[in-house]
Amino acid sequence: MDQRKLLIILMFLLLICGGLALGRALLQAMAPDKVSTERHRVEVKLADIPARGFYSINYRNFKAFIGKQPKLQVFLMPFTNHADEDIDTYYLPDPGWDRPFIPCRQFQVSSQGFACTDPQLHQSWHRQARWDANGNNLGSRMPDLQQARFKVEAGVLILSPQLGSAKPRG
């Protein structure tokens, strides 16, 4: 093998090694740091969750509804709080949770389930935007509620971005 071929092979190996090193550095830089992950971590004592109904908390850009019946579940509903108006706005999916943008300013939560009752929305939305206490849609065109990934440690339910985003239903 002449020196020119050897030089070309070494140059390609050096480029490949450099590309791998650069790729690894970029991937490590994209991972969330511990401070931001801990800032979004939420802990709820299991004793604070009612036996019937739901315990609600703000979690990132969602309202999280934590219930115990029939098993421990955490449902996520996209929402924003308009502090100047002292009103919460929930966002309904259209057609799926990847595009929640239909505003619902009156969202009811009970031990029976969830429903949008916003008088500003057409009645067809009221028929569709209803879910039972297990997060199953009671209409025909909306998806089931999103469920959050969580873990339980020492009597505490933990929600954290490290656990991943909403898990698919089914």
pLDDT tens digits, 22-48: 888 888 777 665 555 566 688 999 999
Q: Residue 164 pLDDT more than 70?
A: no
According to CATH, the topology of domain 39-163 is Rieske Iron-sulfur Protein (2.102.10)
pLDDT in tens, 78-119: 999 876 667 789 999 977 888 888 999 999 999 999 999 999
How far does CA 101 lie from the centroid of its chain? 15
Q: Are 135 and 145 contacting, i.e. CB atoms less than 8 angstroms apart? A: yes
pLDDT in tens, 128-154: 999 999 999 998 889 999 999 899 999
- Of 45, 47, 44, the closest CA to residue 58 belongs to 44
**So what's the pLDDT on residue 69?**
81
Spatial CB neighbours of 96, under 8 Å, sequence gap ≥ 6: 143
**So what's the pLDDT on residue 146?**
92
**So what's the pLDDT on residue 99?**
84
Spatial CB neighbours of 46, under 8 Å, sequence gap ≥ 6: 72, 152, 155, 156, 157
**So what's the pLDDT on residue 98?**
86
**So what's the pLDDT on residue 38?**
60
In which element (H, E) is residue 113 found? strand 113-116
Q: Residue 70 pLDDT more than 70?
A: yes
Joined together, the tokens standing for residue 154 give 């020492």
On the question of a cis peptide bond just before residue 50, with omega within 30 degrees of 0, the verdict is: no
**So what's the pLDDT on residue 107?**
95
Where b means 16+ CB within 10 Å and e means fewer, 92-116 reads bbeeebeebebebbbbebeeebbbb
**So what's the pLDDT on residue 88?**
86
**So what's the pLDDT on residue 167?**
60
